[in-house]
Chain A
Amino acid sequence: MALPRPLRMSISPPELELIASEHLIEIVPLIAMEKTAFISGAYGPLRPPNKCRIPLWMATNLKLKKKCHIVSPDWLSVDFLQERLSEETSQQGFSRLPFRFAETAKVVLDVASDDVQDAEKIRSLLKDLREARQAKSRDGLSQLDHSELSLPNLCSMEINEIRPFFTQAMDVFTQLARQPDADNP
């Protein structure tokens, strides 16, 4: 048990970002490259004016060397996010978003904010979304009991954030609840 306690209970946000970096994203390359084999698969070939799908980590790398433009995903747009935000504030459940939207959005906005239209507006929309969803998962706390909790459409970053204490709290509930057949098994 050499790991610090928080790391034992869940993985860290940078690790989640690493996992999200395996997802494919569209780019417009500025250099030509033959089809190349990596451990996770073969990507390419890159032919400059044509779009190509490569993993996010590779796109980040190329982008930082100014060798491609990242095409921002459909959902990373003001219209889409605005719609989700109004859904989020008007309806009870969580709105549907890509499972790893927080990680992907952050990476894309960090390295390629010049390729995204209205990057600032999107940033603030994402922040609003996060706050609205946090408020909802907080409400989920009051429904917590020892057996189950259902929060559909929760995304990986949010799950990861609430996992340590939701599980701990449920553990306590389990301890405090009477097992009906504890005395006569």
Chain B
Amino acid sequence: MDNDYFSIDAILAENQKIQCTFKVDVPDMGHLGGGSDRDIKALTKVPIPIWLAYIVLYSDWADFNIPAPFGPRVRNALKAEPRSVKLSALVGAGGLWYGFGKMIMDILSEEQANGMSEVLTQTFRGRLTEVIDQAQHFATLGPAGGASSDAAQFREGLDVTERELFSLVQDSAKRTKLWFEGNDRARR
């Protein structure tokens, strides 16, 4: 999730598009929005990927809206119950909801960024215990519940960051369990 140049996760997260409203005319750049217009006119809304948005926003050529995955609807759902929101569905395949959120947070001004940080942190904390519990359950007893149970639904909605955590827990729990149960007396 770091902004390291070589971080694959950061590159993937940067690929998300945000809606920008241009304040100035930009000639010959109409292809950015995918339309057939030659120029970008002032006040048109164009979805552009974050890696490109930085320079556009900092140069004050455009404004942007907070994207839907972090909009009020999602925020309210998260406030109600962080574990019932499918984060992976919000940002598309290989979703990096936290990574994307972190990038938006870095662009935003002080007050909004604090709010954003609050939402991200609360969500992560709210879901963390469930992630760990399920991973440990996985490591010792196999999948919890059937394919359509709440647990399976939750697993499907895991963001990449959480998936990584999930596999770490699983590995660690498996190794420790193996050691506790094994008896290599014969080898000595």
Contact = CB atoms under 8 A, between A and B. Distances in A.
B185 interface: yes
Contacts of B175: 6, 12-13
A26 interface: no
A86 interface: no
B125 interface: yes
Contacts of A14: 179
A10 B169 CA distance: 12
Given A61-B188, A176-B120, A138 B172 contact: no
Interface in B109-134: 110, 113-114, 117, 120-121, 124-125, 128-129, 132-133
A178 interface: yes
Contacts of A130: 180
Interface stretch (A32-40, A87-95, A162-170): A162-170
Contact of A173 (B2, B124, B188): B124
A165 B124 contact: no
Contacts of B133: 138
A1 to B, nearest CB: 13
B59 interface: no
Given A110-B183, A175-B102, A176-B102, A144 B1 contact: no
A60 interface: yes
Interface residues of B, number: 34
B171 A6 contact: yes
Contacts of A157: 176
B102 A6 contact: no
B117 A178 contact: yes
Contact of B132 (A163, A165, A178): A165
B114 A144 contact: no
A161 B1 contact: no
Interface stretch (B41-49, B60-68, B160-168): B160-168
Q: Is the interface on chain A under 10, 10 to 19, 20 to 34, or 35 or more residues?
A: 35 or more
Contacts of B121: 173, 176-177
Helix, strand, loop or mixed for chain B's interface?
helix
A144 B172 contact: no
B129 A6 contact: no
A135 B175 CA distance: 18
B132 A64 contact: no
A102 B120 CA distance: 37
A128 interface: no
A64 B117 contact: no
A5 B172 CA distance: 11
Interface in A51-100: 60-61, 64
Nearest to A158: B176
B188 A165 contact: no
A121 interface: no
A62 to B, nearest CB: 11
Contacts of A138: 129, 132-133
B145 to A, nearest CB: 19
Contacts of A141: 128-129, 132
Interface of A: 5-6, 9-10, 12-14, 17, 60-61, 64, 102, 106, 110-111, 130, 138, 141-142, 144, 157, 160-165, 168-169, 172-173, 175-178, 183
Given A17-B179, A142-B128, A176-B121, 8 more contacts: A6-B171, A12-B179, A13-B175, A13-B178, A14-B179, A110-B185, A161-B173, A176-B105
What 3 pairs across the A-B complex have the smallest Cβ distances?
A13-B179, A178-B117, A176-B120
